[in-house]
Amino acid sequence: MQCVALIYNPASGQYSARRAAAIQGALDVLHDAGVEAEAFVTDRAGSARTYAQQAVRAGCDTILSCGGDGTVHEILQILAGTEIALGVVPLGTANALAADLDLIASPANVARKLLKAEPVRVPVGRIHYRDSAGKPRSRYFIVAAGIGADALLMSRLDAGLKRRFGYILYLVEALRIWATDPLPLFEVVLPANGNSAPQVMEVSQLLAVRVRSFGGVLRKLAPGATLHDSSLRLLAFKTRSRLRYLRFLLAVVFGRHTFSRDIELLETASVECRARNGSHAPIFVEADGEVLGSLPVRIEVVPQALTLLISPHVKP
């Protein structure tokens, strides 16, 4: 780590008035270690991506994403496929990647950890979808991608309220969706395995998980998921039962969840999702907490696509 750009989102998470001092603390740690480092403050949606492009052109070898998973997601779109390392400094409402990497601490302490971290090549997810205008698009993701109720949840979160109320807002909106949304079904197509035909199932929610732990109440949602895995871990909710949803999520909170024919844990190299014939129900798509568009969707894993800073004590 010799030339570092810290891309800082002042609107991410809560207590934004303290952010400048916190970022300066991280810069001081890097400067004291002899690292050339500069901070860039985002001012609008998409500006983290712009600053990442500028850092790449300037010859930086490392970019630190200082915000939440949304800031990481923007920067990932630029760094995937390059040799430039990504480090994470958690300052957002949702910091699942930082939690998975054991980086939940003050920016200065995280900077100290990252100075000792190792650059590791990891696979990342990629989701192909249609945007609001119906045009085909694709995005990389590193935490999770979802189709159904979780994406609807992300679409309803107001940025200002999220900064004010933090994680509580997620819980309130999730409860509202659980109580009122019809949980429409859509089709999931798993690729053929050997001589067998592709498997088609109807689900109300699908999550493709890349991290071992989300932190917070979700923690280890998909056992076996890891940033180092070249396959996808899928949570397929093959039910519209609100009671079944509630029982499963309560079990997740207490670390006692199991899987069944209704809520299944699957492993696959790729997956496709499409609307049911005759269905006009809007079904949202998200990646790393960012609402992208709608069905149809194809999700895959891109091997060894990203250099990620990982502390030596964090096991694969």
Band of residue 166 on the pLDDT scale cut at 50, 70, 90: low
| Mean per-residue pLDDT over the chain, rounded | 89
| CATH number, domain containing residue 95 | 3.40.50.10330
113: Cα separation from own chain's centroid: 22
pLDDT at 19: 76
User: Would you say residue 167 has pLDDT above 60?
Assistant: no
Average pLDDT (235-252) is: 93
Same domain, 219 and 289: yes
Residue 79: give the domain boundaries: 3-116
Q: Is residue 155 domain-resident?
A: yes
Q: Which of 94, 116, 138 is the last residue of a domain?
A: 116
Q: Is residue 56 domain-resident?
A: yes
User: Would you say residue 201 has pLDDT above 70?
Assistant: yes
268: Cα separation from own chain's centroid: 19
Average pLDDT (131-152) is: 91
Q: What is the pLDDT of residues 184-198, one digit of tens each?
A: 999 999 998 767 788
The model's pTM is: 0.90
Q: Which of 204, 212, 163, 208 is nearest to 181 (CA)?
A: 204
Q: Is residue 299 domain-resident?
A: yes
Q: What is the pLDDT of residues 294-305, one digit of tens each?
A: 899 999 999 999
| CATH number, domain containing residue 156 | 2.60.200.40
Band of residue 104 on the pLDDT scale cut at 50, 70, 90: very high
Same domain, 157 and 299: yes
Average pLDDT (166-171) is: 61
Q: Is residue 314 domain-resident?
A: no
Average pLDDT (27-32) is: 96
Question: Distance between CA 249 and CA 299 in Å, rounded?
Answer: 24
Same domain, 131 and 109: no
Same domain, 277 and 204: yes
Q: Which of 116, 150, 182 is the last residue of a domain?
A: 116
User: Would you say residue 106 has pLDDT above 90?
Assistant: yes
Q: Which of 67, 86, 116 is the last residue of a domain?
A: 116
Same domain, 143 and 215: yes
Same domain, 184 and 262: yes
Q: Is residue 312 domain-resident?
A: no
The least confident of 21-25, 178-182, 222-226 is 178-182
pLDDT at 119: 96
Structural domain count, the chain? 2
Band of residue 168 on the pLDDT scale cut at 50, 70, 90: low
